[in-house]
């Protein structure tokens, strides 16, 4: 039998069969009532996951399209401050440079953000702050509520990437004062890649840039969404919308609280295994920062061959991720987001445990037993 590899990477993640099957239908008119109700229904569930009463739109484009929509619509010629402790924070800064005037507040990847630096930048007149809530590249969860508080105090706009937290961990857009938040379809929502969703606050609309991207013009999305039936400005990726609606029905049936609880337990199990192996976690924490509950980044000690590690795991039909850019060869990452639970986690931990031995690491104790104690 030819099995698909089990994707335990931080997106894309395995997609439940019902969600995949939803894409096989004959084409439907994207200006008709059926599409309108699929869009409206998806927006309703997504607003729950974002914890927001703000307007929300679904874009035909991956997470990066949502990043660009956020900055392109609200950051043009503005003073932007980007908090960076990983690749996606850096990407927000790079997008910002295409549209506005960016100050990067740089931390080492996986290290705490410099909130004093943020406060100084805000005092000096920064108008828009970008934050990646769950920095997938380095496995650290950043203090979104604290960043929101500072940003609000100074009257700036708060743009937050919730791509690998929304739908898998607690995100409270309204309580945290996030003006523009977004998620991608292929991470915690366990849908196929290619869609993203963006929420926009009233304060953000009041500061909508005059000159905006054409394809990602959120004012155009807003106008079309107000039509009856609800629409998108241009032809959307209809099969992906069908899949997303099915994925969101699964999310709703599980219930958000239970879903977040499941992600936390899986994360705890993986961290327990890492501790048992005697390996260091990659992120460096302080009281405000936490380990991610959707992806675990593990530091690779000297003498351990990362290529052998991942290749051995792959030999068992399981894919884990390495590090990106400067972290290549220095970390490995296990994604635990979406539709996975104990069977996938235990299989992954078993494979990694064996592979660590092949790659040159002598594990202290059994990570499998440690994870079983958390999950049992």
Ligand X SMILES: *Cc1c(COP(=O)(O)O)cnc(C)c1O
Chain residues in the site for ligand X (CB under 6 A) = 10-11, 62-64, 88, 132, 136, 161, 163-164, 184
Closer to ligand X at the Cβ: 102 or 359? 102
CA 176 to CA 141: how far, in whole Å? 15
Least spacing, CB of residue 11 vs ligand X, in Å: 5
Closer to ligand X at the Cβ: 69 or 260? 69
Which residues does residue 80 pair with via DSSP β-bridges, in sequence order?
A: 102, 128
Closer to ligand X at the Cβ: 86 or 177? 86
What string of DSSP letters covers 316-344?
TTEE-B---GGGTTTEEEEE--SS--HHH
Cβ-count burial 66-75 (b if 16+ within 10 Å, e if not)? bbbbbbbbbb
Least spacing, CB of residue 177 vs ligand X, in Å: 20
Closer to ligand X at the Cβ: 164 or 199? 164
Least spacing, CB of residue 237 vs ligand X, in Å: 13
Closer to ligand X at the Cβ: 169 or 231? 169
Identify which of 294, 272, 281 has the alpha carbon closest to the alpha carbon of residue 373: 272
Closer to ligand X at the Cβ: 338 or 367? 338
CA 291 to CA 65: how far, in whole Å? 26
CA 109 to CA 129: how far, in whole Å? 18
Cβ-count burial 202-230 (b if 16+ within 10 Å, e if not)? ebbbebebeebbeebbbebbeebbeeebb
Least spacing, CB of residue 163 vs ligand X, in Å: 4
Least spacing, CB of residue 79 vs ligand X, in Å: 23
Least spacing, CB of residue 123 vs ligand X, in Å: 28
What string of DSSP letters covers 91-128?
HHHHHHHHHSEEEEEE--TTS---HHHHHHHHHTT--E
Closer to ligand X at the Cβ: 35 or 182? 182
Residue in the shown chain whose Cβ atom is closest to ligand X: 63
Least spacing, CB of residue 107 vs ligand X, in Å: 16
CA 168, 171, 158, 124 dihedral sign is negative
Closer to ligand X at the Cβ: 132 or 349? 132
Least spacing, CB of residue 165 vs ligand X, in Å: 8
Cβ-count burial 156-192 (b if 16+ within 10 Å, e if not)? bbbbbbbbbbbbbbebebeebbbbbbbbbbbbbbbbb
């Amino acid at each position: 039998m030819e099995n698909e590899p089990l994707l335990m990477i931080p997106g894309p993640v395995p997609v439940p069969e019902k969600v995949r099957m939803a894409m096989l239908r004959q084409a439907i008119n994207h200006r008709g009532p059926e599409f309108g109700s699929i869009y409206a229904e998806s927006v309703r569930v997504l607003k729950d996951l974002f914890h927001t009463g703000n307007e929300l739109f679904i874009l035909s484009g991956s997470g990066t399209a949502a990043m660009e929509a956020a900055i392109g619509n609200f950051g043009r010629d503005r003073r932007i401050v980007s908090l960076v402790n990983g690749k996606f924070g850096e990407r927000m800064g790079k997008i910002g440079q295409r549209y506005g005037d960016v100050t990067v507040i740089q931390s080492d990847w996986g290290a705490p953000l410099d909130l004093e630096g943020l406060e100084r930048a805000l005092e000096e007149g920064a108008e828009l702050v970008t934050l990646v809530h769950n920095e997938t590249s380095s496995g650290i969860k950043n203090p979104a509520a604290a960043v929101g508080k500072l940003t609000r105090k100074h009257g700036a706009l708060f743009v937050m990437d919730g791509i690998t937290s929304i739908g898998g961990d607690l995100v409270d857009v309204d309580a945290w004062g996030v003006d523009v938040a977004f998620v991608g379809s292929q991470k915690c929502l366990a849908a196929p890649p290619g869609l993203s969703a963006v929420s926009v606050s009233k304060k953000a609309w009041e500061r909508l840039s005059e000159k905006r991207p054409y394809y990602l013009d959120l004012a155009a999305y807003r106008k079309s969404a107000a039509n009856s039936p609800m629409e998108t400005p241009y032809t959307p990726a209809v099969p992906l919308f069908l899949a997303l609606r099915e994925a969101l029905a699964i999310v709703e049936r599980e219930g958000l609280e239970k879903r977040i609880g499941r992600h936390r337990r899986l994360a705890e199990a993986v961290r327990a295994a890492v501790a048992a192996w005697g390996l260091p976690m990659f992120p460096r924490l302080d009281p405000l920062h936490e380990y991610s509950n959707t992806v675990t980044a593990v530091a690779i000690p000297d003498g351990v061959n990362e290529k052998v590690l991942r290749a051995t795991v792959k030999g068992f039909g399981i894919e884990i991720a390495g590090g990106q850019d400067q972290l290549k060869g220095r970390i490995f990452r296990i994604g635990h987001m979406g539709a996975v639970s104990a069977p996938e986690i235990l299989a992954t931990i078993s494979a990694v445990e064996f592979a660590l031995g092949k790659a040159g690491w002598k594990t202290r104790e059994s990570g499998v037993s440690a994870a079983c104690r958390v999950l049992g």
